[in-house]
A and B are shown apart, each in its own frame.
Chain A
């Protein structure tokens, strides 16, 4: 039928945790803007354990380029485009990761998207070489500011898990991360506070459990939280490091609210009738695509920054928190204990290799089942190859499993020069209508 009306309307409510989340985020920005006055070292860098270590060095403030660039492109079309142009004018290729190109371009223009100058970085820390650009950008940043740089590898291999082999690789990562602490002491002239770090690590684990409990609720119909809102929340405490104690409290609040919403059937999308998972990273400049899908009664239940971290797969295919999720971390006493514990997750991940299309496809299928998804939307990034290294394989796997799947092409996190919004929305229409779904009318 071409005219489709909602068969059911769930109750919806705004998120109560929203204001608290905004407050924490604001706190994070304030630390950056007052860095000079407070003699705070600003550390630029990619994802690494180092971010968690900043608690042991309160004089440091870590800024991850990805969420910064995401905010940039969300806030404006023209400014990231200028940044990309400035970056490419220096001779860097168009196929650079859009996050890094926007971030580095902003640095080269010496303009912050929030106004004023681009805050100078004092130290560059890059790690977790998940892609060539993560690593490379630290070198550019370090050379640009003439600042010290530290780097950690990411070791992976393919094949069956091999404890002996994994141990040797993990030892390298442990050593590199412990070295990072000494490096920060040298770079800042301050002592690292081991006690604070260990305490923060444990708190981080507890926060991780809270986040996992939130993700658990997303298996509920209706979903209490949608992806778009999830993005704002899930970066907090992860890529956007704020006060750990307040972050833990926020996550308690979010967990309690999501549980309540799930128990009381409070939906993120009132007309939910279709659930989908999408890929990563999202089109930060076009997050209204999630709202567009809501016109079909479709809700995205990915929460890509959360994954299923901490949840265990159950025999019925659902995901639940394991028993005693935090107790095993109570014996963490020293900085080395904490680093090793933080790397324990990597130990499991590393055997799949990078990229790991097979593992990712399997996880995706399990996720679809557990979170009761009806379809999958996987974006193909036209730059930033590290973000498109498995999407085609996942797509083929979905086709083979008979799961509705759609690809669309996007400019990776940066300006919209390679992106045609009309085309994309046309493709979304095609995807939904090909499944017999039309936009809902009242």
Chain B
């Protein structure tokens, strides 16, 4: 049995193909905004090629992500929360909570050993754009997001900025720049604010350990470090944290075909 999961996010598209429950191919590419349909198709063709398959060779295609309904060739779609849980459980069977931090959304999901969602919470609107905010602040500091993360780790400052609103946070950063605060300290304040926001979202509900961190932000060492300090939790982080949703969607495809 061959199934595929396609996760169309705000920034990236991710695809995983499973054959007899094993990953045989996968890939990630930018979503390209208005052109996400084309970007998804292009990546799909590449991943099929990687797997040595044609589309007709795939038993079912399940889409997820904010752009799931844009995948016209998918057989069905599922919400991210449901896909994420399946993907995470597959990667870490002992996990009981996942935190998915993408460009625009934070999801915290508590689940049981069977993958049933017990409760979940999404970030509230205030502070919703913090991922995008971090990128724009990185540009203001003249560094990439990765460089900002490395800078942060070299700072011991406890300077804080507003973690509630991107507008107020920007004003705080402007103040720090005008006060000639060290770049590393500003970087730390920015990434700490994001960690703060993630932690506040987690705090909106109850969670269980072990906790898995997925989504693009899980690559950012600075944020992960800040989050670890705030929450006092050692997270489990997959090698490819963005792929969990696509993996989960493909796994759901297996149950669909089996039934």
Contact = CB atoms under 8 A, between A and B. Distances in A.
Contacts of A426: 66, 79
Contacts of B116: 436
A433 B81 contact: yes
B92 interface: no
Contacts of B82: 430, 433-434
A400 B206 contact: yes
B120 A434 contact: yes
Contacts of A392: 204
A402 B204 CA distance: 15
B45 interface: no
Given A1-B256, A399-B205, A399-B206, A435 B125 contact: no
The B interface, classified by DSSP as helix, strand, loop or mixed, is mixed
A418 to B, nearest CB: 7
Contacts of B259: 1
A308 to B, nearest CB: 26
A283 B40 CA distance: 35
B252 interface: yes
Interface string B72-113: 000010111110000000000000000000000000010000
A418 B204 CA distance: 21
A435 B124 contact: no
Contacts of A382: 125
Contacts of B66: 426
A407 B121 contact: yes
B188 to A, nearest CB: 30
B119 A409 contact: no
Given A1-B259, A380-B124, A399-B205, A433 B79 contact: yes
A293 to B, nearest CB: 15
Interface in B135-166: none
A434 B125 contact: no
B117 A434 contact: yes
A434 B118 CA distance: 8
Interface in A388-442: 392, 395-396, 399-400, 402, 404-405, 407, 409, 418, 426-427, 429-430, 433-436
Interface string A364-396: 000000000000000010100000000010011
Interface in B114-138: 116-122, 124-125
B39 to A, nearest CB: 20
Interface string A250-286: 0000000000000000000000000000000000000
Contacts of B252: 2
A368 B66 CA distance: 32
Contact of B125 (A402, A409, A433): A409
Contacts of A399: 119, 205-206
A2 B76 CA distance: 7
B121 to A, nearest CB: 7
Contacts of B206: 399-400
Contacts of A396: 205
Contacts of A433: 78-79, 81-82
A343 B59 CA distance: 67
A382 B259 CA distance: 43
Nearest to B203: A396
B71 to A, nearest CB: 14
**Which one of A2, A392, A402, A433 has the highest number of Cβ atoms from chain B below 10 Å of its Cβ?**
A2
A396 B205 CA distance: 7
**Top 8 A-B pairs ranked by shortest CB distance?**
A434-B117, A430-B79, A433-B79, A2-B76, A399-B119, A430-B81, A409-B125, A433-B82
Interface of B: 62, 66, 76, 78-82, 109, 116-122, 124-125, 204-206, 252, 256, 259
14 contacts: A2-B62, A2-B252, A2-B256, A399-B205, A399-B206, A402-B118, A407-B204, A409-B125, A418-B125, A426-B66, A429-B79, A430-B82, A435-B117, A436-B116
